[in-house]
Every structure is written in structure tokens, then in C-alpha cells.
Amino acid sequence: MKLKADFLSKILYVIISLGLIVLTAVIIGLPWVMPIIFNESTFYSIVNHTSILVLLYLTGIPTWIILWMTKKLAENIIKREPFSDSSIFSLKFISICSIFVFICYLYTCVFLSATLGTITIAVGAFMVSLISTIIYKLVEVAVEIQRENELTI
């Protein structure tokens, strides 16, 4: 069972690393790629191009940070230190960044235009924030119990 967990952790680490590379390329190439993708779209002709680009940058950078922190979590699992201060910090940062993404897309739904995609991303970001906050609190309690255990022994 331990070998399977190590294998899955390493696969997660590789997938996240590839995701970081792809997301970095997308963030850098966004101004050139966006007109090509939305050239024939009626939505793109209605909405201000700059506001979409700003929204994608405002949410793309926190998403990159979320992936980076998830990579740090995978490193902690590979090192067999899942209950550490580094994990607590990473989970807290993931929660904060996903709340920021949620607020950006909620603003977009209310003030710009509520499409199914923006609603889905907003709900997804909220769920990520909720789950990461719960796991953050659980890991924080586990670290506290672990420290008390070490002091007892």
C-alpha cells in the first residue's frame, strides 16, 4: 500500500509540474491566443476585450499560485511529512487564492455577463476554497496533536 501511495504522489507531482508549465505558457501567450480563439464567437464581439483579458490575468496568476502550493503539498507527501507547517501554509494560501478567484468570477457574473462558464468557474472556486479551508483546519489540529504527542514522549 505504501508503494502505491508513493507512486500516486509522484504522479500527482509530475502532473502539477506539467500544469505549471502549461499555465505559464498560457499566461504569457494570452494576449496573442485570445483573439484567435474567440475570433468567430459572438460573445467575444459583445464584451470588452480588455475586461476579459484583465479577468483572465487576475484569476490566472492566483491559479498558478494554487498549483505551486499544491506542488509543495505533493512534495510534503513524498517526503512523508504531510502534517507540517509547510502544509498548513500551503493550504491556507490555496484557500485565500481560490476565494480571490471566486470573488473575481462572482463580480463577472453580476456586473459583466453571467454565462454558464463563469458561473461554473465561480462555484468551482468556491468549492476549492471551502474544501481547502476544511483541510487546513484539520491539518492544523493534527499538527497540534502531533506536537503535543512529541512533548509527551
Domain that holds residue 146: 2-152
Q: Is the distance from CB of 120 to CB of 62 less than 8 angstroms?
A: no
Lowest mean pLDDT among 8-12, 56-60, 103-107, 119-123: 8-12
Single out the residue of 12, 9, 143, 16 nearest to residue 78, CA to CA. Answer: 9
pLDDT at site 64: 94
Per cent of the chain over pLDDT 70 is 90
- Summarize pLDDT for 16-58 with one digit per residue, the tens: 999 999 999 989 998 888 877 777 666 666 667 777 888 889 9
What confidence tens digit (pLDDT) does each residue in 56-79 have?
899 999 999 999 999 999 888 888
The half-sphere exposure of 41 on its side-chain side, counting CA atoms within 13 A, is: 12
| Section 132-136 average pLDDT | 93
The domain tally of the chain equals 1
pLDDT value at 101 more than 90:
yes
C-alpha cell at 149: 504527542
Identity of residue 24: T
Altogether, the residues listed in the chain come to a count of: 153
Q: What is the pLDDT of residue 118?
A: 86
Cα angle value 99/103/109 (rounded, 5°): 140
Q: What is the pTM of this model?
A: 0.84
CA distance 109 to 123: 11
